[in-house]
């Protein structure tokens, strides 16, 4: 055990506070029975600060604290492109995607696909999303979280997996999205404060006690190559997970990051992903949702300081670790003082359990609303829907508990998540964009793209392994979009026109949103300019 009694007390206070808050938020109001709208969309009552906080708490998990720090150790600051480009993507989603989704008053992304195309498209995509959410996302969050607890606390890996699963289940299964979103406000405060403290003490160690700024300057001097945002072919070799080395360009292909597949990954993740967009669907209004997204964009701008820089510091300190994903636990274990270590560990666990809770809620929403209500019991009551939602959350978590140990074979679990999520994201994004802007796109074209995105991705990975996976995602997206157009023209449907009616007024935003968005874009341009 490396945590002191004080650390355990700090951590225990955090755990009790979160569970208590969740149970208080989830309490039943007199005369009101929880319905599907309450459980899955928080009664459409979320304010902007809860939306923004929940977006980031759901997004930032062990895959960032552990996985992205591991990629920072291996790749350097270039991996921060996922964060900074996500900030720009959030603005696009707020302006383009949200007005369309909220106008349709939907619960899930598959539900939108049924409204725009047909039931076949909805069912296929719902099935694919459930597979990815359970076997990639939920499983990886548990694996990376348990890895951290094993390294930091000396806890048995299996017990750590089970403990995290129980913690997340206790505070989220009963209360639904409202409990998840409102506790996420506290979770974000804990993870940002705890994460910044970890970074501060790591910098302090690097500078021999001279503090944050001195440590940052020393880091720039000691490992300047780790601050190249645009990687060149052959410039950096990293572990490949099997004892050999590979070109880092394969993970972050130079200008292709800014101009290609990274946009596919981010637009899909922030704009079409039930796990994320569900918070915005639960907003009080469109302006409230848009303010929540721009708030989240600013939080994304500071996150590399919390989840990437620690990995680079560990590299500069010549961390004695066997794989990149051990960088963050190594820092936490060796250089964070007593008491603060408990808070930093609470920040890590906050990120893990909030993401687990959000993923479980999204899995239960899709299964309940798009599979169970559609094919099992069309006449199910509101009470039955909530009951099924809770049961599915628990079942998904149990599956992930058994699958988590299998991820131990990967050196950078964050890259594993990005690559295998990339098997579905190009086709899914193509379907949504075609649904928005191409009136002649029909269900046959969308169905073809939903299946072919896996085929295109698998063929490209096997036959063209020299193509970086982000570039591959860009090409698969273009192929999927082209396939939608061709199939839609060759095989028109007999259904009435289900195209989305779009007008310029839908995309108008408040002046305050425009001003805050401009600030985000200026920051992004500045950061890329100084570390090009």
List, for residues 201-232, the tens digit of each pLDDT value: 999 989 988 888 999 999 999 998 889 888 88
In a domain, 270, yes or no: yes
In a domain, 416, yes or no: no
Site of tokens 């998540």: 417
Most confident of 56-70, 398-412, 442-456: 442-456
In a domain, 177, yes or no: yes
In a domain, 471, yes or no: no
Q: What is the pTM of this model?
A: 0.86
Tens digit of each residue's pLDDT (9 = 90 or more) over 132-151? 888 888 888 888 788 777 87
The total number of structural domains that make up the chain: 1
In a domain, 90, yes or no: yes
Q: Is the dihedral of CA 251, 262, 260, 419 positive or negative?
A: positive
CA dist., res. 421 & res. 414, Å (int): 11
Tens digit of each residue's pLDDT (9 = 90 or more) over 17-69? 877 877 776 666 655 555 565 566 556 778 888 888 888 877 887 667 777 88
Do residues 13 and 166 touch, judged by C-beta distance below 8 A?
no
CA dist., res. 318 & res. 458, Å (int): 37
CA dist., res. 315 & res. 208, Å (int): 16
Question: In the chain, what percentage of residues exceed pLDDT 90?
Answer: 23
For 304, what's the count of Cα atoms within 13 Å in the CB-facing half-sphere?
22
Query: First and final CA of the chain: distance in angstroms?
Result: 42
Q: What's the whole-number mean pLDDT along residues 499-518?
A: 84
In a domain, 198, yes or no: yes
- pLDDT band of residue 185 (cuts 50, 70, 90) is confident
Residue 231, domain extent? 5-26+37-409
What is the DSSP code (8-state) at residue 231?
P
In a domain, 524, yes or no: no
Q: In terms of pLDDT, which residue wins out, 62 or 357? A: 357
Q: Which two tokens stand for residue 397?
A: 């978590």
What is the DSSP code (8-state) at residue 210?
S
Q: What's the whole-number mean pLDDT along residues 300-314?
A: 92
| Average pLDDT score, the chain | 83
* Secondary structure (DSSP) of 134-168: IIIIIHHHHHHHHHHHHHHH---HHHHHHHHHHHH
Q: What's the whole-number mean pLDDT along residues 180-185?
A: 72
Q: What's the whole-number mean pLDDT along residues 109-131?
A: 88
CA dist., res. 437 & res. 453, Å (int): 20
- pLDDT band of residue 1 (cuts 50, 70, 90) is very low
- CATH number, position 186: 1.20.1730.10
Quote the radius of gyration of the chain (alpha carbons, Å): 22
| pLDDT value at residue 331 | 85
Do residues 65 and 314 touch, judged by C-beta distance below 8 A?
no
In a domain, 265, yes or no: yes
């Amino acid at each position: 055990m490396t945590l002191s009694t004080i650390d355990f007390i700090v951590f225990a206070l955090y755990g009790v506070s979160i569970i208590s808050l969740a149970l208080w938020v989830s309490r039943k109001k007199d005369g009101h029975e929880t319905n599907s709208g309450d459980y899955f969309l928080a009664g459409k009552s979320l304010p902007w600060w809860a939306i923004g906080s929940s977006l980031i708490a759901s997004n930032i998990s062990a895959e960032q604290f552990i996985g992205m720090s591991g990629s920072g150790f291996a790749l350097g600051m270039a991996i921060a492109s996922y964060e900074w480009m996500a900030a720009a993507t959030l603005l696009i989603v707020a302006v383009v995607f949200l007005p369309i989704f909220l106008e349709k008053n939907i619960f899930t992304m598959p539900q939108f696909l049924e409204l725009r195309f047909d039931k076949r498209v909805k069912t296929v995509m719902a099935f694919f999303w459930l597979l990815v959410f359970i076997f990639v996302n939920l499983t990886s969050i548990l694996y990376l979280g348990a890895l951290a607890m094993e390294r930091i606390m000396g806890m048995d890996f299996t017990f750590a997996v089970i403990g995290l699963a129980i913690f997340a289940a206790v505070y989220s299964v009963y209360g639904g999205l409202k409990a998840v979103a409102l506790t996420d406000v506290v979770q974000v405060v804990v993870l940002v404060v705890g994460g910044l403290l970890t970074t501060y003490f790591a910098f302090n160690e690097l500078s021999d006690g001279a503090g944050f700024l001195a440590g940052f300057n020393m880091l720039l001097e000691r490992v300047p190559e780790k601050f190249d945002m645009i990687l060149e072919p052959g410039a950096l070799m990293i572990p490949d997970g099997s004892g050999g080395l590979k070109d880092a360009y394969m993970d972050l292909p130079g200008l292709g990051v800014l101009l290609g597949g990274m946009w596919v990954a981010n637009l899909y993740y922030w704009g079409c992903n039930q796990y994320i967009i569900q918070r915005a669907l639960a907003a009080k209004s469109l302006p409230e949702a848009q303010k929540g997204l721009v708030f989240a964009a600013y939080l994304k701008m500071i996150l590399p300081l919390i989840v990437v820089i620690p990995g680079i510091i560990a590299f500069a300190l010549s961390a004695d670790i066997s794989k990149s994903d051990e960088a963050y636990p190594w820092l936490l274990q060796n250089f964070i003082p007593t008491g603060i270590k408990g808070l930093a560990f609470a920040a890590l666990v906050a990120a893990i359990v909030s993401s687990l809770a959000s993923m479980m809620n999204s899995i239960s929403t899709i299964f309940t609303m798009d599979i169970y209500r559609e094919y099992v019991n069309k006449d199910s009551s509101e009470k039955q829907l909530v009951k099924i939602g809770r049961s599915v959350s628990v079942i998904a978590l149990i599956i992930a508990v058994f699958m988590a140990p299998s991820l131990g074979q990967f050196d950078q679990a964050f890259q594993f998540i990005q690559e295998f999520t990339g098997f579905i994201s190009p086709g899914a994004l193509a379907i949504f964009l075609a649904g928005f802007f191409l009136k002649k796109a029909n269900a046959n074209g969308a169905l073809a793209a939903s299946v072919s995105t896996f085929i295109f991705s698998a063929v490209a990975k096997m036959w063209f392994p020299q193509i970086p996976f982000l570039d591959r995602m860009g090409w698969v997206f273009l192929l999927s979009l082209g396939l939608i157009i061709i199939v839609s023209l060759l095989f028109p449907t007999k259904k009435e026109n289900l195209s989305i009616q779009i007008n310029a007024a839908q995309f108008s935003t408040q002046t305050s949103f425009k001003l805050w968005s401009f600030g985000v874009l200026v920051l992004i341009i500045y950061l890329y300019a100084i570390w090009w």
